[in-house]
Amino acid sequence: MSDIVPIRTALISVSDKSGLVEFAKALAARGTKILSTGGSAKMLREAGIAVTEVSEHTGFPEILDGRVKTLVPQVHGGILGKRHDPSHIAQMAEHGIAPIDLVAVNLYPFEATVARNAEFDDCIENIDIGGPAMIRSAAKNHEGVTVLTEPSHYARVLEEIDAHGGTTLSTRRSLAAAAYARTAAYDSAISSWFAAQLGESYPDRFSFSGAKKQELRYGENPHQSAAFYTSSPARFGVATATQHQGKELSYNNYNDTDAAFECVAEFDEPAVVIVKHANPCGVATGTSTAAAWDLALACDPVSAFGGIVALNRTLDEETATKIVTIFTEVIIAPDATEGAKQVLAAKKNLRLLTTGGVPSPTQEGMTFKSLAGGFLVQNRDAGRVTAEALKIVTQRAPTAAELEDMLFAFRVAKHVKSNAIVYTKNRATIGVGAGQMNRVDSARIAAWRGKEAKLDFTGCAVASDAFFPFADGLEAAIAAGASCVIQPGGSIRDKEVIEAANKAGIAMVFTNMRHFRH
């Protein structure tokens, strides 16, 4: 028995009408009878294509404002009937059910309706019922039926018809798998929306889906495979980026680039962030991105080699000229001038990404982390400390300049792996200590790196992502030259830490907000 299935009858009912007329014309030219519904049938008829309305084919009219039009035996029997089962063939003949060989269906735009903040009832009406039912039926019976859920599938099917007189089993199985993935993603979007409407951040069953944007060369290491998937709702960043030059991004490139862009989005002034291995090694704001670059690079020029650079403004020619003086893997920015692109063109391996915007640091959302046998879900760390929320706990209050530097440092610390210590001066990092097992080492390493770069720590600000459990971490920061400190507070030894600050004559404020990043 041949695995080739000729396409004698096709049912077409699509919301996304991209390429619809061309596809239907090609099928009709190859002798395929076309069944269709509603807007799809109207569009095809206006294009001069012979179409049979589904209601005419079934002898049953569309009812309930179109909610019921394909949920009838003449449609689902024609899709689900086994082509080589004598019993099925006999039953179909008895009930006047004609086989349907191809189902081209894409779904009501539920996700797009939700994305435009439509009213509840509008969202409900954009939940497709007949579409998913036909898709799932056709996918189940893929041995005899071809199912298409995306306009991108059309060309492949036409090529097979021309080459073989029908579709092959391998293609039908591939399209069936894609069909079930699509209906799963659709149902996931609906269930997530319903949970949000009910105020359930963590429902009993949690599902999420993504669309593959790119299969990567490998994962964190060459022996690991990887791919990049995009999800909704949209957020400016690597998912919205256009790559202008350079080789494909790796798994680590994506991870580090995302970290850099999320960090640079924290600042309203022109800012530059340099990231290496997911941690900022230089962060600064300035009167321009070119000025901010100089300050960010000065923090740790050794680690910046081979790093990722993020800007929160359009990349201009002056800044691009400065960046290319050192080896850089990726530059990500909302946009880039033609002059900047020309400068970077000389560096063939440097990737330039433009995103169209900057993500909001306070935007709500979810993050995920896999564990053995499951995954953790939490809402994104969208917390932001303001000057009004700070509690001064020392005898000396910070000056206005110190307050600015402390808030700047704490925003950077939010994006540094715990335990995190960040020294800043004049709204630029001068030392970053990341990922140490104790806070004292983070404080010492951050100071050592900054002083290796010959930066002046006298009168600097220091931020800690979590409280100092003992006074020793604070004392290490004071020894480095800090004159003010910002930290969450909340340790059982806060009194001891405050006393150490008062003894040294520095100012200290509590945020009552922690920024662990693991």
Q: Determine which of 114-123, 337-346, 424-433, 494-503 has the lowest per-residue pLDDT on average.
A: 114-123
What does 144-196 look like in DSSP terms, one character per residue? T-EEE-SGGGHHHHHHHHHHHSSB-HHHHHHHHHHHHHHHHHHHHHHHHHHHH
Type of residue found at 400: A
Smallest Cα–Cα separation from 78: which of 54, 53, 97, 64? 97
> Hey, what are 302's tokens?
């050794």
Question: Left (φ > 0), alpha (ψ -120 to 50) or beta: where does 246 sit?
Answer: left
Residue 28 has pLDDT above 90, yes or no: yes
Q: Name which residue leads in pLDDT, 97 or 321.
A: 321
Type of residue found at 339: G
The Cα–Cα gap between 295 and 426 comes to 9
Smallest Cα–Cα separation from 433: which of 285, 296, 297, 280? 280
Contact 495, 518 (CB under 8 A): no
Residue 18 has pLDDT above 70, yes or no: yes
- Which burial class, exposed, middle or buried, applies to 34 when counting CB atoms under 10 A from its CB (0-12, 13-18, 19+)? buried
Active site residues: 140, 277
Tell me the residue ranges of DSSP E strands in 129-215.
Answer: 146-148, 211-215
The Cα–Cα gap between 429 and 116 comes to 39
As a whole number, mean pLDDT of residues 370-376 equals: 92
Q: Which residue has the tokens 């798994």?
A: 251
Q: What is the largest CA-CA distance in the chain?
A: 96
Half-sphere exposure at residue 230, Cβ-oriented, CA atoms within 13 angstroms: 12
Residue 231 has pLDDT above 90, yes or no: no
Residue 2 has pLDDT above 80, yes or no: no
CA 459 to chain centre: 40
Residue 69 has pLDDT above 90, yes or no: no
Smallest Cα–Cα separation from 160: which of 33, 51, 36, 30? 30
Contact 249, 330 (CB under 8 A): yes
The Cα–Cα gap between 84 and 82 comes to 6
Backbone φ, ψ for residue 174 (5° rounding): -60, -45
Q: How many residues does the chain have?
A: 518
Question: pTM for the complete prediction?
Answer: 0.88
The Cα–Cα gap between 350 and 263 comes to 21
Smallest Cα–Cα separation from 271: which of 239, 295, 298? 295
Contact 467, 476 (CB under 8 A): no
- Which burial class, exposed, middle or buried, applies to 441 when counting CB atoms under 10 A from its CB (0-12, 13-18, 19+)? middle
Q: What does pLDDT average to over the chain?
A: 94
Whole-number pLDDT of residue 71: 75
State the pLDDT confidence band at 135, using cuts at 50, 70 and 90.
very high
The Cα–Cα gap between 168 and 16 comes to 25
Whole-number pLDDT of residue 68: 75
The Cα–Cα gap between 431 and 420 comes to 11
Type of residue found at 255: N
The Cα–Cα gap between 497 and 141 comes to 70
Domains of the chain: 4-198 (3.40.50.1380), 240-354 (3.40.140.20), 389-510 (3.40.140.20)
The Cα–Cα gap between 495 and 475 comes to 14
As a whole number, mean pLDDT of residues 306-321 equals: 98
Smallest Cα–Cα separation from 137: which of 147, 151, 149? 147
Q: Determine which of 200-204, 301-305, 434-438, 476-480 has the lowest per-residue pLDDT on average.
A: 200-204
As a whole number, mean pLDDT of residues 131-154 equals: 94
The Cα–Cα gap between 212 and 32 comes to 32
Whole-number pLDDT of residue 1: 45
